A and B are shown apart, each in its own frame.
Chain A
Amino acid sequence: MLRLHEYRYHRPARLADALALLREHEDALAIAGGTDLMPNMKHRLFTPRHLVALKGIAELRGIGLADGAGNPVADDSPHARELVIGAGATLTEVSRNPLVRRVFPSLAAAAGKVAAPQIRNSGTMGGNLCLDTRCTYYNQSYFWREALGFCLKKDGEVCHVTKVGRKCVAAHSADTPPVLMTLGASIDLASANGTRTLPVADFFIADGKANTVRRRDELVHRIRIPLPAPGLRTAYRKVRQRNSVDYPLLSIAAAARLTPGSGVESLSLVVSALGAKPRMVSGLDKLAGAPLHEVVDAAAALAFKQCHPLENLIVDPDWRHAMVPVYVRRALEEMAVGA
């Protein structure tokens, strides 16, 4: 049995107190549901001296509508401009929320496909956004990693995947961020200095060692998704070995706005679980104007060309590459039904 190291547990009641604790302690980490952090701490991937628990913080909870300035409004308010999801909302809450299911079905689907029911009851949206990247050579016990020789993401000098590179290519493995990217969502990042808002797409960087721009003393406060004009269709597809519990081997998030007569007004497509950053497929604007079912193959070909999976997970990268167009097609065909 792997045991945890010694550390102090803080349980702030307010967001400001949590931010002050993170500022005060250099070696503090936040813990929300703990479903990513607990296994990682047992593997000695993280050994913080202080843990700041987010569970008791009311400001991080809740899912609801807000006006353009982020102030809460009633469900039937004409001033509603965005859907706001607190970082502490659990994946179960998001997957079952009637508003999310109605307006952003792909987000409800992605949240509902994370891990398994028990983990979705504990795991949060904030933790999902900040999920550590994953790799065959990294998500292992200290003993295992030491036996093979540590890698550069943790304790070592070389990358066992690329052999030569000085860059970690561990896979971004969270289910909800690719969907949030297709929906044009932003996040509010809070620190003791104030709050900055940035698009989810700008939150991630292509560095598997630490794949977000979040500073150590910052917390995801909430996620803000602009309410769509009519005609938005969304889909999420996830490839994994078993249909439950497992992380994605490949994931596809898609969103399209269709005009009456079913022409594509805009299309966005994110492919993830291959590299350190979810990949926004480019060049899709050229497909606008045609009916969705007519652009499926072109979009699938673009996605295939832009993705380059490596041997960072146990499953053959060529197979994962070959599955990219297959699952892009399935996602788009699902959205084209009835269009």
Chain B
Amino acid sequence: MRFILNGAPAEVDAHPMKRLLDVLREDCGLTGTKEGCGEGECGACTVLIDGEPVVSCLVPFAQAREAEVVTIEGLGGEHPYQRAFAEFSGAQCGICTPGMILAAVALGPAPTLEEVRTGLAGNLCRCTGYEAIYRAIHSATA
């Protein structure tokens, strides 16, 4: 099945009902996308499909056909949020971080604090208490 993965055409032979999360991790070797709950509740597995954040643990691979999928690897380690999360302790254990960053990226270049709060309302973090995450995003957009 063909789709666009992090900007490049990709062709992957996997069962259409395999979860996109598993296809990315197991078939594409992109382990930046994390599994937390596997039930759509935590947002750790967030990726962008056609620019919108979705939870890849609830997306059958077949639903990603012809779509543009962006994972944390697609930011190339270069995105200002990636440095800022490290600098401001927005990442501690790091499990929520790829999903947090992608959900934040989807909010556009300079989201307000309110937009960040509601935009990240589907991403749980058990380490930072969220404030460090908001600070990291703010510092990178200020």
Binding site for B on A (CB under 8 A): 1-2, 4, 7, 9, 11, 31, 33-35, 38-39, 42, 51, 53, 55, 92, 115-119, 121-122, 243-245
Residues in B with CB closer than 8 Å to A1 are 35, 38
Q: Are B103 and A119 in contact (CB under 8 A)?
A: no
Partner of A117, one of B17, B41, B60, B103: B103
Q: A7 near B58 (CB under 8 angstroms)?
A: no
Cβ of A55: which chain B residues have Cβ within 8 Å of it?
63
| Sample of 17 further A-B pairs with CB below 8 A, known A35-B40, A38-B40 | A1-B38, A2-B38, A7-B17, A34-B58, A38-B19, A51-B17, A53-B63, A92-B52, A115-B122, A118-B40, A118-B46, A118-B122, A119-B122, A121-B54, A122-B54, A245-B121, A245-B124
A-contacting residues of B (Cβ < 8 Å)?
16-19, 35, 38-41, 43, 46, 49, 52-55, 57-60, 62-63, 65, 103, 118-119, 121-124
Q: How far, in angstroms, from A276 to B55 measured CA to CA in the complex? A: 28
B22 CB, min distance to chain A CBs, angstroms: 9
Question: How far is B58's CA from A38's CA once the two chains are assembled, in angstroms?
Answer: 6
Q: Which of B19, B43, B63, B65 has the most CB of A within 10 A?
A: B63
Cα-based distance from A33 to B123 in the complex (angstroms): 19
CA distance A121 to B62 in the complex (A): 17
Q: Which of A42, A116, A117, A118 has the most CB of B within 10 A?
A: A118
Query: In chain B, what residue has the closest Cβ to A39?
Result: B39
From A2, A7, A39, A116, contact of B121 by CB (8 A):
A116
Nearest CB on A from B122, distance (A): 3
A42 pairs with B38, CB closer than 8 A: yes
Given contacts A38-B40, A51-B17, A122-B59, A244 and B121 within 8 Å (CB-CB): yes
B55 contacts which of A31, A53, A122 (Cβ < 8 Å)? Answer: A122
Q: How far is the CA of A38 from the CA of B59 in the complex (A)?
A: 8
Complex CA distance for A115 and B46, rounded to whole angstroms: 14
Which residue of B53, B57, B62, B123 is within 8 Å of A11 (Cβ)? B62
- A118: which of B16, B55, B62 is its contact (CB, 8 Å)? B55
Q: List chain B residues, Cβ under 8 A from A7.
A: 17
